[in-house]
Structures are given as C-alpha cells and as structure tokens.
Amino acid sequence: MPDSAPQRFPGRPGDWVLYKDNQLIAFNKPAGMAVVPDKKKSANLLQIGAAYAHHDLYPIHRLDRPVSGVVLFGKKSSAQASVSTQFQERTVTKTYLAVVAERPEQDEATLVHYIREGKGNTSEIVDQSDPASKRAELSYRYLGSSDRYHLLEIKLLTGRKHQIRAQLGAIGSPLRGDTKYGFKRANEGKSIDLHAYTLAFDHPISGARVELKAPLPEGVVWEAFGGIVGL
C-alpha cells in the first residue's frame, strides 16, 4: 500500500537539477527519497525526474533512501550504458561527506573490510574466510568539527551495499541518525547524515570530464560545516 502520509521534500524538482543536456540529467536527491520505485510505492526520483524532464530516464547508479546528494540518469539508453561502464571500470570518482558523533582515532586512513548481506536490509562485517563476503575498501579524511559532531570526506574504492555505513560503524564512528549501524537516535524523517557530494565522469559523447557538486542539505547540523567545505 502507498504511504498514508507522503513525506514532503524541500524545493521543487527543478531546484534539484545539477546538470542536464540531451544525454544526461543529474539531481541533488533529498534524503528520504528512493531513487527508483520500490515496494513502499512512495515518491521516487526516477518518476519525479522523468515528469520534470518530459523524458524517459535510465538509472545509472543509486543512493540509499536515507542518503542525499548527486544522482545521475541517462536520457538515452546509450548514455546510461556508457556511464555505467565507467562505474564498472572504476573511472568514475565519487566523494561523500559524512557526519559522525565519534571522531575516528586516525584523521586519515584506508579501511578494508569484508561484507556480506545481513538480515533486515543490512550489510554485516564478517571474516575474509566467509564464502559470501565481498571486499569493501574506502578512504576517509577528517575535515573538521562542530560543537558535537565531526565531518569526514569519504572516497569509495569499491561499491558494496551500505558500505560506508557498515565500515564507519565498524570503527565506532557511525553516521549521525544511522541506527542500523550503531548510532543511538534516529534523525527526523529517518534520514542519515551522509551526502553524495561530488561525482565526476567522462561525457558519453564529447569525452570531456564532467564534475558535479551537490550543495549540502538544509539543517543546522550541515550548516555548521558549510564553512569547512567552502559553502
């Protein structure tokens, strides 16, 4: 059944557009919105974006529902295939910003864990010997602190389900609001403070490097870090 009380999101679809041409369109997805239709049958960016663009859209990558930031769609299946191949070949670069309550012991490090799918739509850290496990690697860098929280820059080196969430939880620095991975309290609207900040790829026609940046979400926690990231 559809959600009885649809969630409201800031602004209008046109306000979320970060980039568009005849091949591609990118949005700054609000936290709490699904990228594609799911069993909850609630608002999703694919359908909202297609209605805004008056054009069928083709998903290239996804973000978890509670996460905000850059999401790219193809306007043509050929554009979708081209950029999807870049994701597979790891020539796409992605940067995330993460707000955590516990500052990691090291200000900069590369994390390597082994992850498998867990119960209740989670991923769990397991031993490398587990036959169902997949290697997960990311690098992080401490950027600064507010009165209560700390900001990390995250670069994914692999792309596993809930990877950032599980790996930060494993080192004792769960994302603010992420009760699945160790934070004590949920955020309003069940969002988590993880933002897909930048995305860079080669344009499927021109080959030119396209670099996209998504403004930070609204709210006092993110606003406290605006000066740190130059916004």
Q: Which residues are catalytic?
A: 64
Q: How far are the Cα atoms of 112, 193, 202 from residue 180, in angstroms, in the given order? A: 20, 13, 35
Cα 211 from Cα 231, distance rounded (Å)? 17
> In whole angstroms, what is the distance from residue 67 CA to residue 196 CA?
8
Instruction: Measure CA of the first residue to CA of the last residue in the chain; give whole Å.
Output: 40
Question: Distance between CA atoms of 196 and 170, rounded to whole angstroms?
Answer: 20
DSSP per-residue codes, 6-44: PPP-SS-HHHHEEEE-SSEEEEEEPTT-BSS--TT---B
Residue type, position 36, single letter: V
Are 127 and 133 a contacting pair, CB within 8 Å?
A: yes
